[in-house]
Amino acid sequence: MHQRQDFVRKTPSMNVPFLDLKANANSIKDEVMASWQEVLENTAYVLGPKVAAFEKAFAEAHDVKHCYGVSTGTDGNHLASLALNIGPGDELIVPANTFIATAWGATLVNATPVFVDCEPDSYNIDPAAIEAAITPRTKAIAVVHLYGQPADMDPILAICKKHGLGLIEDCAQSHLAEYKGKKVGGIGDIASFSFYPGKNLGAWGEGGAITTNNEDLGRFVDMFRNQGQEKKYYHKVYGHNYRLEGLMGAVLLIKMKYIAGWTEARRKVAAYYDAHLSGIAELTLPTPMPYAKHVYHLYVVQTPKRDAMSTYLTEHGVGNGLHYPIPNHLQECFAHLGYKKGQFPVSEQLGANCLSLPMFPEMTEAQMEHVVKTVRGHFGA
């Protein structure tokens, strides 16, 4: 009897997932199945009309001239570095606080990632830290619009102009985000997007894209992703198979009809959290920057006792995540670069204190209320 009472006491009144991919998929399932039938009938399994239509829609949505569907966002980072002719002996400046795939943009071309710290309020790369990290070997800067909030691009663009550097935008988490009224993806020289299923615009599998306003960079990307072919069997440059599949293009094309509405729904969830979680002494909420239009891929809070909060939320039916507990400069794979703990204090503090709350456009008010009630309960608020 005692065990049964204990079970009831610990069973949460509601379970709120960190992300609900099934709800999102179910909302467009019939449309996708019909579109996939078209792909099956015309057998355009790789690239093809669905991918081409998606590329056009995605470019228009981001006010950029060119979009090329690729196999993954990581491959997009590789392609962006290749397009800017980054290679052995070169350095690519990368934020320490980001998913490691940004750094692969350097390592996959045998260049060196040079990590720098982030700003304490935006969590994005610190322009002052960029300036201090530039050496004669620096070829470009990779900016990440982290968690869905654009980095402060004007000072970074000025640095690039001053030193003659290329500028890559990693937009894996920032579909439709805006910097001073301008969509990300066309601010730098070239940009990489991810369509991993959990992204704001996610495929039903792997996928990514490159965007650019530069004709020459676009031409290179278009060839490289398709075995270096200018036309079939005429290989103008070294290449690879980084093509987006037709089935994924079909899913993404359908989702383009809904992404703006889903983005606004994410902002409403964030606004609810902002309104109901403010004023808790040991909890730091994300800071929307005045120059940015945030798309809230993630809603990341900070608390000194992060692990205890994560355990409490889990026990009370609230999904949560860590983004990112170990900054890139402290990853074992980069030990040979010689970075030390304490070198980038802001990124390291985020790694120790950050926790991501549930964030998806299908969240109901009851789910949001349960998240807020549980977080406040943890802090005794």
Last residue of a domain, one of 217, 240, 255: 255
**15 located within any domain:** no
Residue 108 located in a structural domain:
yes
CATH number for the domain harbouring residue 58: 3.40.640.10
Q: How far apart are the C-alpha atoms of 19 and 321, rounded to whole Å?
A: 10
Give 31-82 as a DSSP string: HHHHHHHHHHHHT--BSHHHHHHHHHHHHHHTT-SEEEEES-HHHHHHHHHH
Section 265-279 average pLDDT: 98
Domain identity same for 81 and 137 = yes
Whether 153 and 292 map to the same domain: the answer is no
Question: Sign of the CA dihedral 65, 69, 74, 78?
Answer: negative
pLDDT higher than threshold 70 for residue 7: no
Residue where a domain terminates, one of 255, 283, 299 = 255
Domain boundary among 255, 277, 294: 255
105, 180: one domain: yes
**Rounded to whole angstroms, how far apart are CA atoms 63 and 189?**
14
The CATH number for 325's domain is 3.90.1150.10
67 plus 116 within the same structural domain: yes
Residue 19 lies in a domain: no
Instruction: Take residue 219 and report the two structure tokens written for it.
Output: 């031409």
Q: Return the pLDDT at 144.
A: 98
Residues 208 and 174 in one domain: yes
Are 138 and 270 part of one and the same domain? Answer: no
CA dist 196 and 222 (Å) reads 21
Q: Indicate whether 182 belongs to any domain.
A: yes
Q: Is residue 238 part of a domain?
A: yes
Amino acid at 375: V
Is 70 exceeded by the pLDDT of residue 6? no
Q: Which runs of consecutive H residues, i.e. helices, occur in the chain?
A: 2-10, 21-42, 48-61, 73-83, 101-107, 127-133, 153-163, 215-224, 246-255, 259-277, 306-315, 345-353, 365-378
What is the extent of the structural domain holding 56? 24-255
Average pLDDT, the chain: 96
Closest CA to 151 of 110, 102, 87, 203: 102
State whether 195 and 283 are in the same domain: no
- 226 and 292 in a single domain? The answer is no
What gap in Å lies between CA 321 and CA 335, rounded to an integer? 25
Does the pLDDT of residue 2 top 50, yes or no?
no
**Residue 11 in domain:** no
Q: Report residue 13's pLDDT band, with 50, 70 and 90 as the boundaries.
A: confident
Specify if 6 maps to a domain.
no
pTM over 0.85: yes
C-alpha–C-alpha distance, residues 260 and 374, integer Å: 30
Q: Is residue 241 domain-shared with residue 319, that is, in the same domain?
A: no
242 in the same domain as 313? no
pLDDT, residue 11, reads: 67
- 13 within a domain of the structure (yes/no): no
Counting residues of the chain whose pLDDT is more than 90, the rounded percentage is: 96
- pLDDT grade for 381, boundaries at 50, 70 and 90: confident
pLDDT tens digits for 147-189? 999 999 999 999 999 999 999 999 999 999 999 999 999 999 9
Structural domains in the chain (count)? 2
**Residues 301-329: pLDDT tens digits?**
999 999 999 999 999 999 999 999 999 99
- Cβ-in-10-Å burial (0-12, 13-18, 19+) of 14 comes to middle
10 confidence band (pLDDT: 50, 70, 90): low
Instruction: Express each pLDDT in 204-249 by its tens digit.
Output: 999 999 999 999 999 999 999 999 999 999 999 999 999 999 999 9
Let me know whether 342 and 201 are in one domain: no
Query: 150 in helix, strand or coil?
Result: coil
Are 323 and 341 in the same domain?
yes
